[in-house]
Amino acid sequence: MSQATLSTTEVKCYHCGADCDDSIIVHDDKPFCCEGCKLVYELLQENELCSYYDFTQNPGVSPDKTYYAGKYAYLDMPEVQQRIIEFTDGRQTHVNWYLPQMHCSSCVYLLENLHRLHEGVISSLVNFPEKKVRVVIDTQKIKLSKLAELLTYIGYEPYISLQDVEGNAQQKNNRSRLYKIGIAGFAFGNVMMMSFPDYFGLGDTQSDHQLQTMFSLFSVVLALPVFFYSASEFFVSAWKSIRKQYLNIDAPIALAILVTFLRSLYEIGTQTGVGYLDSMTGIVFFMLLGRYFQDKTYSAISFDRDYKSYFPVAVTLLKKATSKDSEVPTTSNEQILVTNLQPGDQILIRNKELIPADVRLISERAMIDYSFVSGESVPVEKTRNEIIYAGGRQMGGAIELEVTKKVSQSYLTQLWNNDSLSQQQQSQKRDLVGQINRYFTWTVLGLGLAALAYWYLMGDLPRGINAITTILIVACPCALLLSDTFTNGNMLGMFGSNKFYLKNAQVIENLSEIDTVVFDKTGTLTLPDAAQIEFVGKPLSPLQKSIAKTMSEQSSHPLSRLIAKSLAASPKEKTLTHFKEVEGLGLQAQLGDDFVIKMGSARFLGIAPASDDQETSHVYFSFGGQFLGYFNIFSLYRDNLSETLTALKQRHYQTYLLSGDKPTDIALLSHLFGSEKQLHFLQKPEDKLRFIEDLQQKGQKVLMVGDGLNDAGALLKSNVGIAVSDNINNFTPACDGILEGKQLSLLPHYVKLAKAGRRIVIQSFVISVVYNIIGLSFALTGTLSPVIAAILMPASSISIVLFTTLSSRLATRLLLKKAD
């Protein structure tokens, strides 16, 4: 039995840091893993950019090997340019591209020195958190397609998707909230200053009265922009909710702000007091700050991808297209936007390219990898005239295809238009705070009205009005809201620093409520690029191992790649000749004149398949016509999987497995999941979606953990959908959260932490209720002095913020550090 990746010499590529297996290229006394890395190094050396290697160890990214000349030709099409260019005046053009490979300070250095690599680049500016680079180019000297080629060449392939080209204009950075915070903070500080004389008591002399009037007038002027501009979003949101006949969380805030403002104006106008403008500006300032904090999430990670962000922007259209008279005259292979593809068009798809529409195969044979759609890891062979569905990826040589349906009508696209997905969005509004808030608002309003009625009956109406307004001011649920926003903000940060990236605060709450966990298998529970390989049969001699390695290295089939990797320690056998790959069947080579070596499927070797051929993947090996045995390839599961599942079961979560794959490793998996009934194989994307739906109809709250596009429907449908990815820059389907693969074992702890977050919100709410009761007991009697109200307001807010911050940090430390 030979374990994968056991190379004896650990040589790391100077450029990209990958393990150099045996094909080390030495250049300038430095090892490189491939020609591409070496070329980048040479280019940087030539342009004196080698301090690239000083900031980080092995900072480079190995250039994409699937690149081919003309890949970006579509960037020079006017209709594409119109969408992706931010600004142009004919000479200078600005583009802002997303470079997912950007990962360290060296990347920033190189990308901001692009002008030294090409004279056409005028300047470039990196936004690292968003992984974007804004490049200004001189269109006379460099074309957009050339710029994209340059970036790809040095390893930073720009990611330009159909969504960019087709989608709506990108939303502007949310700067207005910063303006609002700035203005509210400015007003808050200054109104506070104006109120100090009043807190400490002014005398009764004439000049003191004049001073007070003056301070009050200044305060009103300062409070106006806060009321009309900074606080506007609370009023808008509250008004919207009232029109829909329910009270949202902003309604009581808006009411409190409104009442405080009006009462302050009244008091100042009638010279009966100084009002509570300091409290009002304070509320608005703290609330806005809390929300800014909570919404500041991960700008580089997108959670809302649909099929459009996976699809290529353009494909190569073949000349032979059945030219309808209206179409543009087609020259030989030209690029066409995939949205413009018409049924009947003939397209060319190269190795590892994604097929964007449902097509019919024209070429003789194709190997289609559907892992993207179905999760099935082994490519499927297709022959001429077969229909291939969108989302498949060609493995091997280029193929010709004829489009049968438009992109928007393909099988894959239909998955997104499933009704049950669009319906669910609305029903998720009721969160914990919302529920508390409903009772809270009505209670406060009831109390206020009761107090008003009481004083009215006692014949002291002014005192009654005083009481109700004070109640509304003091009982503003700001503390509750502050505790919620700050706890969530903290939690999001805590999860993020533990490699678990959540879309928004609502997800934390949903996560704390789940009772069922559904896992996908391929890529989620198993490792995507590793496998355990053993040879069943006669043990192989060193020569045979070398031959098997050399042969499998020639092929791009995933199984060949895995075998080559597992035999990395063997040297290359250079005497092999007549190498031949029969797509979908196997590999053949000759040693000497007539000694034939074959590896591949049983059919290819002309022997009967082994009994367990359906369960695991086999690659058979024959040596000079003599059958020696087969490589048995098992998927390798992630570490600590059994601990994770045991921990989930102990806490009484139901666990299920949904796999698009054929049934494998049933014994192992049924042990992990408890019983065979929990395992579901051969699930199509719709089946997964329906499975989740059935569970939800039974009232269960489902957490779906998946990775591929085949899980996309289920991820969206579930209460919480988490995408597992080994590189968060890779593209993950639309989901609520992205979890780094290595952290999957911490899943039970994450759920626990989410629950702790809920508890913290409730605890701080209790604290704020205590404050409110103290405040209310003063207010009901109508004797709360402005000084106490003014101190109580910020003091309660600040203590709540402190409490949530400290306790969420403590909870994270207790729950996650222990687990490491």
- Interface residues toward other proteins, by CB under 8 A: 28, 45, 48-51, 53-55, 105, 108-109, 112, 116, 126-130, 173, 175, 178-179, 182-183, 186, 189-190, 193, 207, 210-211, 214, 218
CB of 182 to other proteins, least distance (A): 5
Q: Which is nearer to other proteins, 108 or 450 (CB)?
A: 108
Cβ distance to other proteins smaller for residue 194 or 761: 194
The residue (of 102 and 633) whose beta carbon lies closer to other proteins is 102
CB of 128 or CB of 681, closer to other proteins: 128
Shortest Å distance, C-beta 753 to other proteins: 25
Q: CA–CA separation, 786 vs 274, rounded Å? A: 8
Considering the complex, what minimum distance in angstroms separates the CB of residue 128 from other proteins?
Answer: 4
Contacts 24+ apart (CB under 8 A), 20-24: 21/568, 22/568, 22/571, 22/572
CB 394 within 8 A of CB 356: no
Whole-angstrom distance, CA of residue 497 vs CA of residue 495: 6
Tell me how far, at minimum, the Cβ of 102 lies from other proteins, in Å: 10
Minimum Å distance from CB 540 to other proteins? 43
Beta bridge partners of 280: none
Nearer to other proteins, 128 or 411 (CB): 128
DSSP count for the chain of H helices, then E strands = 27, 28
617-623: strand order across its sheet: 526-537, 626-637, 617-623, 595-600, 586-591, 576-582
Beta strands in 128-168 (DSSP E): 132-138
CB of 229 or CB of 681, closer to other proteins: 229
Q: What residues pair up with 504 in beta bridges, in sequence order?
A: none
Q: Which C-beta is closer to other proteins: that of 127 or that of 363? A: 127
Q: Reduced to 3 states, what is the DSSP secondary structure of residue 414?
A: helix
Provide the H-helix boundaries in 296-380: 307-310
In the complex, the smallest distance separating the C-beta of residue 85 from other proteins, rounded to whole angstroms, is 19
DSSP H or E run through 686: helix 685-697
Which DSSP state fits 2? B
Min dist CB 227 to other proteins, Å, is 17
CB atoms closer than 10 angstroms to residue 620: 25
Cα 195-198-204 angle, rounded to 5 deg? 145
For CA atoms 492, 497, 500, 503, the dihedral sign is positive
**What minimum distance in Å lies between the beta carbon of 490 and other proteins?**
18
| 51 vs 333 by CB, closer to other proteins | 51
- Phi-psi region for residue 708, left (φ > 0), alpha (ψ -120 to 50) or beta? beta
Can you read off the two tokens belonging to residue 117?
Answer: 């690599």
Closest approach of other proteins to the CB of residue 548, in Å: 39
- Class of residue 27 by CB neighbours under 10 A (exposed 0-12, middle 13-18, buried 19+): middle
Residue nearer to other proteins on the CB measure, 221 or 802: 221
Q: Which residues contact 556 (CB under 8 A, 6 or more apart)?
A: 351, 395, 396
Q: What are the residue ranges of helices labelled H in 270-343?
A: 277-295, 307-310
* Rounded Cα–Cα distance for residues 677 and 682 (Å): 14
Closest to other proteins by CB, 10 vs 48, is: 48
Residue 711: other Cβ atoms inside 10 A: 34
Tell me the closest approach of the beta carbon of residue 86 to other proteins, in angstroms: 13
- CB of residue 233 vs other proteins: minimum separation in angstroms? 17
Residues 16, 60 contacting (CB under 8 angstroms)? yes
Q: CA-to-CA distance for 650 and 644, rounded, in angstroms?
A: 10
Q: How far is the CB of 211 from other proteins (least distance, A)?
A: 7
Q: Which is nearer to other proteins, 128 or 731 (CB)?
A: 128
Query: How near is the Cβ of 295 to other proteins at its closest, in Å?
Result: 14
CA-CA distances (angstroms) from residue 68 to 64, 397, 751?
Answer: 10, 13, 45
Nearer Cβ to other proteins, position 226 or 390?
226
H helices present in 228-276, as ranges:
232-243, 250-269
- CB of residue 41 to other proteins, shortest distance in Å: 9
Q: Which string of DSSP letters, residue by residue, matches 315-344? A: EEEPTT----TTSPPP-SSEEEEGGG--TT
- In this structure, what DSSP letter does residue 116 have? G
3 state DSSP class of 501 = strand
Q: Which is nearer to other proteins, 30 or 809 (CB)?
A: 30
DSSP state of 1: -
Give the nearer residue to other proteins in terms of CB position, either 48 or 593.
48
CA distance 437 to 428: 16
